[in-house]
């Protein structure tokens, strides 16, 4: 196989939803051989729906999150990858518009590996829901060592640290470079300083101004930071991809009901903080400097006690050897 996509899937009801099939079909159009790794108990009917789009289907226990699935897929097919390797998952709706054009823009300046969005949360890194690696990275022992870790035995925080964040950090330390369609140097000072998830706070800017053709599912399903309007978001997507929008509504009807398990909303303080960050970012982009400055002042006053508490906590850990903090 030349270009290979390892696609991680999980569905609480054991289904392969229509929006997943939409995404897989767009990946296949780019001539990727797709290995579908599911941590769900799929029905025979859903297995058949996937087989027509994939060269292999791996069923595994629900452990290790997406990195556990990618590790399982790479353990079976890593030696077969002769070209690029794409790591993707079902945590996004899309592509909205042309995936090929977005990928061409992402890879226009050749480098070693790519992702659509760079995040400053915890440490600068590429968000892992779409990662593309050139062949020489795939063959490197550092990359292979990261995917050889026992993710299925790790808690979520450790998977994030040793998977998503370590993947960018360790490859950069080894001399590789990465490129994002929305890198940190294009983000405003306030979003970099406060290390938000751009896919939550800046979904509109990413989709329509930066050309990132995806929406995070948790934004529409859970609205974890209390700033999204599901109906308004779908209205913006429908003129571009009406068929995908129909699949999104169907998926949300099944997974976002009043009794469905959802990611808890952040506390009111955090939601207000995110709202100020998004407002400050938009005012700066619109060159409304006075209003942006005032919003930023409010944000800094609001978060000063939190930053001081975190600094004291880190100092306390430094003074007590052997202790660490995930703050």
**Assigned CATH topology for domain 4-183:** Spore Coat Polysaccharide Biosynthesis Protein SpsA; Chain A (3.90.550)
Rounded mean pLDDT of 299-308? 67
Distance between CA atoms of residues 253 and 257, nearest Å:
6
Whole-angstrom Cα distance, residue 58 to residue 38?
Answer: 6
> What pLDDT is recorded for position 244?
97
| Mean pLDDT of the 290-319 span | 67
- In this prediction, residues 214-236 reach a mean pLDDT of 85
Q: How confident is the model at residue 324 (pLDDT cuts 50, 70, 90)?
A: very low
Q: If we measure between CA atoms, which residue out of 95, 63, 125, 44 comes closest to residue 244?
A: 95
Q: Which pTM value belongs to this model?
A: 0.84
- The domain spans of the chain are 4-183, 270-319
CA angle 212, 213, 215 (to 5 degrees): 95
Residues of the chain with pLDDT > 90: what percent? Answer: 65
Q: Band of the pLDDT at 227, cuts 50, 70, 90?
A: low
Alpha-carbon dihedral sign for residues 270, 275, 277, 280:
negative
Categorize the per-residue pLDDT at 327 as very low, low, confident or very high, splitting at 50, 70 and 90: very low
Q: Mean pLDDT across the chain, nearest whole number?
A: 86
> How sure is the predictor about 1, in pLDDT bands with cuts at 50, 70 and 90?
confident
What secondary structure does DSSP assign to 80-142, as a single string? G--S-EEEEESSEE---S-HHHHHHHHTSS--SEEEEEEE-SSSSEE-TTEEEE-HHHHTSHH
Indicate if the pLDDT at residue 23 is higher than 70. Answer: yes
Q: 144: pLDDT confidence band, cut at 50, 70 and 90?
A: very high
pLDDT for 325 beyond 50: no
How much is the average pLDDT of 77-88?
A: 96
Let me know: does 26 contact 93? Beta carbons within 8 Å: no
Helix then strand then coil, % of the chain, to nearest 5: 50, 15, 35
DSSP-assigned letter for residue 170 = H
pLDDT level of residue 122 (50, 70, 90 thresholds): confident
Beta bridge partners of 89: 8
Question: By the 8 A CB rule, do 38 and 57 touch?
Answer: yes
Percent over 70 (pLDDT), the chain: 78
Average pLDDT rounded to a whole number, residues 193-210: 83
The pLDDT score that the predictor gives to residue 41 is 94
Collapsing DSSP states into helix, strand and coil, what is residue 9?
A: strand
């Amino acid at each position: 196989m030349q270009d290979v996509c390892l696609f991680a899937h999980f569905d609480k009801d054991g289904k392969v939803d229509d929006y997943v099939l939409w995404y897989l079909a767009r990946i296949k159009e780019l001539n990727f051989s797709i290995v579908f790794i599911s941590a769900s108990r799929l029905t025979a009917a859903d297995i058949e729906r996937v087989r027509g789009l994939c060269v292999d289907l791996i069923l595994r226990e629900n452990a290790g999150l997406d990195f556990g699935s990618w590790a399982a897929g790479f353990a079976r097919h890593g030696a077969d990858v002769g070209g690029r390797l794409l790591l993707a998952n079902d945590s996004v709706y899309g592509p909205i518009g042309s995936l090929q054009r977005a990928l061409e823009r992402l890879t226009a300046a050749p480098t070693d590996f790519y992702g659509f969005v760079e995040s400053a949360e915890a440490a600068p890194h590429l968000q892992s829901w779409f990662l593309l690696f050139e062949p020489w990275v795939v063959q490197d022992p550092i990359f292979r060592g990261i995917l050889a870790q026992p993710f299925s035995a790790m808690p979520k925080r450790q998977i994030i640290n040793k998977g998503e964040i370590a993947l960018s950090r360790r490859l950069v330390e080894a001399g590789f470079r990465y490129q994002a369609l929305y890198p940190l140097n294009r983000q405003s000072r306030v979003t970099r300083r406060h290390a938000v998830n751009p896919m939550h706070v800046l979904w509109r800017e990413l989709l329509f101004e930066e050309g990132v053709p995806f929406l995070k599912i948790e934004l529409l399903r859970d609205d974890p930071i209390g700033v999204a309007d599901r109906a308004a978001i779908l209205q913006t997507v429908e003129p571009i991809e009406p068929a995908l929008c129909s699949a999104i509504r169907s998926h949300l009807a099944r997974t976002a009901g009043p009794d469905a398990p959802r990611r808890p909303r952040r506390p009111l303080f955090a939601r207000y903080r995110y709202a100020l960050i998004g407002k400050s970012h938009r005012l700066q982009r619109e060159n409304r400097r006075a209003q942006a400055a005032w919003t930023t002042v409010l944000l800094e006053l609001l978060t000063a006690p939190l930053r001081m508490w975190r600094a004291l906590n880190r100092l306390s850990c430094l003074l007590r050897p052997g202790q660490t903090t995930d703050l």
